[in-house]
Amino acid sequence: MLERYSLPEMTRIWSEQFKLQTWFRIEVLACEGRAKLGELDGDIVKAFWASEPEIFDEQRIKQIEAEVNHESVAFQMYIEELADDKCLGIFHRGLTSSDVLDTCYNYQLKEASDLIITKLQNLAAEFKRLALEHKLTPCIGRSHGIHGEPITFGLKMLRAYAETQRNITRLENAKKEISVGMISGTMGTYSTINPTVEKYVCEQMGLEPESISSQIIPRDRHAMYFTILGVIAATLERVSTELRQLQITEIGEIQEPFSSRQKGSSAMPHKKNPILLENITGLSRLIQTHVSAALGNVSLWQERDMSHSSVERALGPDTTITLDFAIHRLTGILKGLVVNSQQMANNLEKLGGIVYSHRIMNTLTERGVPKDDAYRMVQSASFKAIESGSNLLEVLLRDKAIQDWVSQEELADLFDLKYFQKEIDGIYERVLGPGNQGAC
């Protein structure tokens, strides 16, 4: 992944050193498990632990790999160069490469999950803060990009909060799904290794033993995991896209953070472009494309082939590093988000009150006007208001047909924002729980 879109903690999990350290740990834990069964001398295990270098020599491993053309074998040969003579021929005995590689890969995904979950919790906290702060900040709700009825900006943020909470639950489940390891030998039959060793290694790694492996951990687990990451990315894209739309000049309801020394355009000094939100939109799309690759990895030949390997070398780090960065960036945007409540109010009244048309129509039907007749009456009045630039109430007050059913005083009372906020406490309580919905 590009350094530009990477954060140190997540990058460390996918570093070559972290991978080699984890390989070594799995290999020696397997020896330790065998020693507990009496199959190995405990001194040999101690000798292996003592041979661990402070920094693994990546160049030396590559030199060996250039000769043997096998990454895992090259690593084993490198460790034998470092280990005591009495350890020769014991390292990796009874294991196959995938025992180490797959267990390591899933361990990395588990560790990556913890970082992403923490980032999502931080993001959810910002959505919640904005939801409570703007619980009663009125704005126009839009469907198909067209003015619909009044809502509040807080409700927009509350929806994003609830969606993020669902994503946290999804990722926690995906983490559980992926937190498995295997030490089952060739073909997964344990013919060369006692299953107790697998249980011991997995316990030490914070993993569960794979219930049934072939020569690999089944890739349906990984497909589910990366699909959930894709769903999280889809949420980021949805939110960032909506915030970008609200920043359009003609709407102008919010503004992403813009520093005093920042330049919005190389040619037009007046511009404040939503570049951070656009960046998140693009990164989210990239993450979603990775899902199809993960699904394709499920269909491997027989007990194992290597067609998944090249995909996963990029898939694991690129997806988790990018998602980690995108969540972090969106959280930062929300922390500094400028909310223009006055412009929200201006937009709400921009079309002269036609956003109250539904309530007016319902009032007419309640008084006995047939539904289609009521619809046509209010539609005609609304279009007149739009075309003439008048207020809908003014048009209605001149419409005798409507006043036959609703008095002028009653019509004026229908143009009330609070009508659309009467159930807002209940919505907040449903999402946040009793006593957490904020003060009105």
> What CATH number does the domain containing 366 carry?
1.10.40.30
Task: Look at residues 59, 87, 115 and tell me which one is the last residue of a structural domain.
Answer: 87
**Are residues 190 and 339 located together in one domain of the fold?**
yes
Q: What is the pLDDT of residues 39-96, one digit of tens each?
A: 999 999 999 999 999 999 999 999 999 999 999 999 999 999 998 877 778 888 999 9
In a domain, 432, yes or no: no
- Cβ atoms of 10 and 108 within 8 Å: the answer is no
In a domain, 3, yes or no: no
Q: Output the pLDDT for position 439.
A: 46
- The percent of residues in the chain predicted with pLDDT above 90, rounded, is 84
Q: Output the pLDDT for position 438.
A: 61
Residue 313 — very low, low, confident or very high, per pLDDT cuts 50/70/90? Answer: confident
Assess whether pLDDT exceeds 90 at residue 265.
Answer: no
DSSP three-state, residue 152: strand
**pLDDT averaged over every residue in the chain:** 94
User: Which DSSP category does 329 fall into?
Assistant: H
| Two structure tokens written together for 300 | 């491997």
Tokens 């997964």, residue located: 188
Indicate which CATH number applies to the domain containing 127: 1.20.200.10
Q: Provide mean pLDDT across the span 294-319.
A: 88
Q: Output the pLDDT for position 61.
A: 96
| Two structure tokens written together for 65 | 């790999």
Q: How far apart are CA 17 and CA 49, in angstroms?
A: 16
Tokens 């005083």, residue located: 409
**Are residues 292 and 167 located together in one domain of the fold?**
yes
Q: What is the pLDDT of residues 227-240, one digit of tens each?
A: 999 999 999 999 99
**Are residues 409 and 384 located together in one domain of the fold?**
yes
**Are residues 132 and 274 located together in one domain of the fold?**
yes
Task: Look at residues 87, 106, 128 and tell me which one is the last residue of a structural domain.
Answer: 87
Residue 440 — very low, low, confident or very high, per pLDDT cuts 50/70/90? Answer: very low
Q: Output the pLDDT for position 213.
A: 94
Q: What is the pLDDT of residues 328-363, one digit of tens each?
A: 999 999 999 999 999 999 999 999 999 999 999 999
Q: Provide mean pLDDT across the span 225-252.
A: 97
Q: What is the pLDDT of residues 120-177, one digit of tens each?
A: 999 999 999 999 999 999 999 999 999 999 999 999 999 999 999 999 999 999 999 9
Query: What is the residue-wise DSSP string for 312-332?
Result: HHHHHHHHHHHHHHHHHHHHH
Assess whether pLDDT exceeds 70 at residue 196.
Answer: yes
**Are residues 247 and 373 located together in one domain of the fold?**
no
| CA dist 3 → 8, 45, 282, 284, 306 (Å) | 9, 38, 16, 17, 28
Assess whether pLDDT exceeds 60 at residue 388.
Answer: yes
Q: How far apart are CA 8 and CA 425, in angstroms?
A: 41
**Are residues 233 and 379 located together in one domain of the fold?**
no
Higher pLDDT, 435 or 95: 95
In a domain, 105, yes or no: yes
Q: How far apart are CA 162 and CA 164, in angstroms?
A: 5
Burial grade of 115 (CB within 10 A; 0-12, 13-18, 19 or more): buried
**Are residues 387 and 309 located together in one domain of the fold?**
no
- Cβ atoms of 92 and 193 within 8 Å: the answer is no
In a domain, 238, yes or no: yes
**Are residues 135 and 238 located together in one domain of the fold?**
yes
Of 162, 194, 201, 149, nearest to 180 (Cα)?
Answer: 201
Assess whether pLDDT exceeds 70 at residue 379.
Answer: yes
The count of domains in the chain is 3
Q: How far apart are CA 115 and CA 228, in angstroms?
A: 15
In a domain, 141, yes or no: yes
Task: Look at residues 347, 370, 385 and tell me which one is the last residue of a structural domain.
Answer: 347
Q: How far apart are CA 433 and CA 194, in angstroms?
A: 50
DSSP three-state, residue 143: strand
**Are residues 23 and 116 located together in one domain of the fold?**
no
Instruction: Give phi and psi for 180, each to the nearest 5.
Output: -130, 150
| CA dist 258 → 238, 264, 336 (Å) | 22, 9, 9
Question: Domain containing 122: what range?
Answer: 97-259+268-347
Assess whether pLDDT exceeds 50 at residue 195.
Answer: yes
In a domain, 438, yes or no: no
Question: Could you give the residue numbers annotated as active site?
Answer: 144, 265
**Are residues 77 and 101 located together in one domain of the fold?**
no
In a domain, 62, yes or no: yes
Task: Give the E-state strand segments of 197-265 in sequence order.
Answer: 208-209, 254-255
In a domain, 23, yes or no: yes
**Are residues 23 and 130 located together in one domain of the fold?**
no
Indicate which CATH number applies to the domain containing 64: 1.10.275.10
Residue 268 — very low, low, confident or very high, per pLDDT cuts 50/70/90? Answer: confident
Torsion, Cα 184 185 191 196, to 10 degrees, reads -40
Assess whether pLDDT exceeds 80 at residue 1.
Answer: no
**Are residues 280 and 315 located together in one domain of the fold?**
yes
Q: How far apart are CA 111 and CA 320, in angstroms?
A: 10
